[in-house]
Amino acid sequence: MRVKNTGLDGVVIIEIDLIHDDRGFFSETYQEKKFKNLGISMNIVQENHSFSRKAGTIRGLHYQLEPMAQSKLVRVTAGAIYDVVVDIRPQSPSFGKWVSVIISEDNHRQLLVPKGYAHGFCTLTTNTHVLYKVDQFYSKAHERGIIWSDPSLAIDWPVTEPVLSDKDKLHPMLEAIANNEEGNVNG
């Protein structure tokens, strides 16, 4: 297992080892002690699985307000995604900065998205399965979003006309968070 920095504080790629044999491979996708040795400590309380039928589906950019903010450990078991993480901590020197990482069934990467960051992805394939573990429960009352096409972010998405949920068509721009009066997004 190896960790690679992405350029955003705490946002890291975890590369796991595959043990191959005649049948295929085996891998430990999460192992508490090994992750701790890599400096990653998460109290996982929920695992999510999303399936997107079409390539060019964007889900995001999502986060939950404190005290329900979540760290996420993302991986892909079928297909590939262009995964995006945005720093939305108002006091952060990298506020508004984002990174993108390709995660696929072939590269077996996992991406750690700490609290204080918004997360979203665009599917690059049909029939894409994304799994992610989180360290806080889902809370409908605390879920928030930023519009995927926010010009101040200028995210280099691989599509211009994505498939979106009704909810994801209506999020505000990041500027609204900078002037946020409704709650704390600090991670």
Q: Active-site residues: which are they?
A: 62, 132
Task: Name residue 81's amino acid.
Answer: I
Shortest Å distance, C-beta 138 to ligand TDO: 3
Residue whose C-beta lies closest to ligand TDO: 138
What are 137's two structure tokens?
């429960």
Q: Which is nearer to ligand TDO, 40 or 58 (CB)?
A: 58
What are 65's two structure tokens?
């307000």
Among 13, 59, 76, 171, binds ligand TDO (CB under 6 A): 59
Shortest Å distance, C-beta 84 to ligand TDO: 9
Shortest Å distance, C-beta 62 to ligand TDO: 3
Q: Is the Cβ–Cβ distance between 113 and 61 less than 8 Å? A: no
Rounded CA-CA distance 19/28 in Å is: 9
The size of the chain, in residues, is 187
Binding string, 6-25, against ligand TDO, x = CB under 6 A? --------------------
Q: Which is nearer to ligand TDO, 36 or 167 (CB)?
A: 167
Q: Is the Cβ–Cβ distance between 162 and 77 less than 8 Å? A: no
Is 50 a binder of ligand TDO (CB under 6 A)? yes
Is 89 a binder of ligand TDO (CB under 6 A)? no
Q: Which is nearer to ligand TDO, 22 or 161 (CB)?
A: 161
Q: Is the Cβ–Cβ distance between 81 and 123 less than 8 Å? A: yes
* Residue 71: closest CA among 41, 100, 113: 113
Q: Is the Cβ–Cβ distance between 74 and 42 less than 8 Å? A: no
Binding string, 115-144, against ligand TDO, x = CB under 6 A? ----xxx----------------x------
Give rounded-to-5 percent helix, strand, coil for the chain: 5, 40, 55
Which chain residues interact with ligand TDO by CB under 6 A? Answer: 48, 50, 59-60, 62, 72, 119-121, 138, 165, 167
